[in-house]
Amino acid sequence: MKRRIVLPVLGALGFALVVALVLVHIADAPSDVSETPHADIHPDAAMIERGSYLAAAGDCAGCHSVAGQPPYSGGRKFDLPFGTIYGSNITPDVRYGIGSWTDAEFIAAMYRGIAKDRHHLYPAFPYTSYTKMPISDVLAIKAYLFSLKPVSVPAPHNKVIFPFNQTWGIAYWNLLFNSKRRFRPDPSHTEQVNRGAYLVEGPGHCSLCHTPLNIAFVPRAGKEMAGTIVEGMRAYNISPDPKWGIGGWSDADLVNYLKHGFANNHGAAGGTMAEVVENSSAFMTDNDLLAIGAYLRQLPAQPGTVDQREPSSNSVRLAPASFELDAGAKIFVGACIGCHGLHGPYTARGSNLLGHPSVSDPTAQNAIYIMLHGVDLKTPNGRIYMPSFASSYSDEEIAAVLTYSGDTFGTGALRVTAEMVRTVRH
Ligand code: HEC
Ligand code: HEC
Ligand code: HEC
């Protein structure tokens, strides 16, 4: 009698195990024949140079470097809901970096998120985007990384809670969410739009910040570039909607923002976007930045978040007498006016707040974040700096000066309370 139950149960479990293993095998398998192992390529100077450009376009330095340490030596921290992980050392150090990796092993990481020791990497490493890059681009990046000086420092170990520390489980996630497909140009689009699509969806992985993610941390279909909050900052709607997105931006505005970190009447890049500009878009050619713009402009317009139309010109409220009345105005004159001015010219690069979405965002997400963290953005074209005011002002004072800034430079939608500052501070 017992055997009559045990055998079918064992059989069912065995079957489930086989299915599970087959699925992992499918998930981990190379996507096409071009990916099968072959002898390593010997790069020439031109390949290394191309790799340097592509590594910038892929923002590898942004996630694999920390301030004060050699680039690509790892240690950048990522706080995830289930723990903390760190960008790896990807210098060619044999012990702590990727110095012993073959071309095939590097490709497996970039296309399938599988490390040299075969464990699955967390998708915070955007291999789901890099999988769209052709092999020639991926190997050019490897050639560039291998041309750098090896740095013999280990990156800190990931600290992740159970069950998320069982990285084999990521194979199932990959099965569902990693396409393992290379980018294919759409023949109905211009060459420029296709180039932009490749840069945005492939190396640039813009949608991992600018598109709302679903419960599995995957960009939601149909919400491309609609904006969302990542690492404490709101990555704004950059769909072509004229009111909510970048529809009202000129090509020159977009190129200036991505190349120099700011654009007239749209403000400057702060927080994580400052890092993207500093490590990535500042190095891209104008033609590639224009291609990114051309691609964004033909996506469906998405509604929502920050009204980006003409800021109300409230400068009249700045009659000197009002400084006596308004606590926010007083702080602004004391601590902000030197850089932010009232009518320009502005003393600090990129400090023109007129039209910056952060002074019109009713949630005040980025305005509070920047007040607490400051900005330090070094681009090849100059430095953009704002100190942190976290310890100099109370929550009430930060609320007052930001509300004042919103009334002066924005649409008047920014109304900050001490409670909102407290929530971001903690
Ligand atoms: C958004 C952040 C981010 C970006 C951008 C990024 N990486 Fe990573 N990468 C990570 C993280 C985090 C890990 C570690 C994941 C883990 O421990 O599971 C990682 C791991 C890796 C690994 C595996 C290293 C090892 O020792 O196992 C390689 C190789 C790698 N990245 C290469 C690159 C390259 C090349 C680029 C640029 C094209 C790049 N990464 C861009 C976050 C990033
Ligand atoms: C790591 C997350 C992250 C990535 C990746 C990222 N962005 Fe951003 N982006 C942001 C944040 C945050 C802001 C808001 C910055 C601020 O408030 O100063 C922003 C702002 C912008 C803006 C200005 C929008 C406005 O209304 O002011 C543009 C344009 C933009 N990003 C384009 C891009 C493009 C193009 C890419 C891909 C090449 C990209 N971003 C990748 C986080 C990101
Ligand atoms: C040393 C010069 C400097 C001082 C002083 C300064 N700022 Fe800034 N601020 C900047 C620069 C440069 C930027 C552009 C970078 C950016 O947009 O984040 C900026 C950006 C901002 C932003 C936009 C944040 C975003 O989302 O990117 C706000 C809001 C702001 N400042 C408010 C203030 C207030 C309020 C004060 C006074 C308490 C102040 N700043 C003092 C230089 C300064």
Give ligand 3 pocket residues (Cβ under 6 A). Answer: 267-268, 270, 331, 335-336, 338-340, 348, 350-351, 353, 356, 358-359, 366-367, 370, 375, 384-387, 389, 401-402, 405
Taking the C-alpha atoms of residue 370 and residue 388, their distance in angstroms, rounded to an integer, is 7
Ligand 1 contacts CB of residue 289 (under 6 A): no
191-297 has which CATH code? 1.10.760
Q: Is the pTM of this model over 0.85?
A: yes
Yes or no: say if 276 and 382 are a contact pair by the CB < 8 Å rule.
Answer: no
pLDDT over 70 (residue 77): yes
pLDDT over 80 (residue 381): no
The predicted-structure confidence for 226-284, as pLDDT tens digits, reads as follows 999 998 899 999 999 999 999 999 999 999 999 998 888 888 888 899 999 999 999 99
For residue 32 the two structure tokens come to 């096409």
Contacts of 221 (CB under 8 A, 6+ apart): none
Residue nearest to atom 27 of ligand 3 (CA): 270
Delimit the domains of the chain by residue range.
36-177, 191-297, 315-425
Ligand 2 center to 36 CA (angstroms)? 36
Report helix, strand or coil for 77: strand
Yes or no: say if 65 and 76 are a contact pair by the CB < 8 Å rule.
Answer: yes
Q: Which residue in this structure is represented by tokens 């569902």?
A: 176
Ligand 2 center to 160 CA (angstroms)? 28
* Angle of helix 365-373 versus helix 395-409 axis, rounded to 10: 120
The predicted-structure confidence for 53-68, as pLDDT tens digits, reads as follows 999 999 999 999 998 8
Query: What pLDDT, on a 0 to 100 scale, did the predictor assign at position 322?
Result: 52
| CA distances in angstroms from 4 to 1, 11, 15, 18, listed in the order given | 5, 11, 17, 22
Average pLDDT for 384-393: 93
Closest to 396 measured CA to CA, from 422, 423, 369 = 422
Average pLDDT for 98-105: 96
Taking the C-alpha atoms of residue 56 and residue 288, their distance in angstroms, rounded to an integer, is 12
Taking the C-alpha atoms of residue 132 and residue 134, their distance in angstroms, rounded to an integer, is 7
Ligand 1 contacts CB of residue 125 (under 6 A): yes
* Region for residue 162 given its phi and psi (left: phi exceeds 0; alpha: psi -120 to 50; beta: otherwise): beta
CATH architecture of 315-425: Orthogonal Bundle (1.10)
Contacts of 201 (CB under 8 A, 6+ apart): 129, 132, 183, 207
The ligand with the least distance to the CA atom of 235 is 2
The ligand with the least distance to the CA atom of 372 is 3
Ligand 2 contacts CB of residue 292 (under 6 A): yes
Domain 191-297 and domain 315-425 have a common topology: yes
Ligand 2 contacts CB of residue 146 (under 6 A): no
pLDDT band at 374 (very low <50, low <70, confident <90, very high): very high
Yes or no: say if 109 and 28 are a contact pair by the CB < 8 Å rule.
Answer: no
Taking the C-alpha atoms of residue 260 and residue 274, their distance in angstroms, rounded to an integer, is 10
Taking the C-alpha atoms of residue 138 and residue 71, their distance in angstroms, rounded to an integer, is 19
Q: What angle do CA 33, 35, 37 make, to 5 degrees?
A: 105
Q: Which residue in this structure is represented by tokens 């790896």?
A: 88
Residue nearest to atom 37 of ligand 2 (CA): 206
Average pLDDT for 132-147: 97
Average pLDDT for 86-115: 97
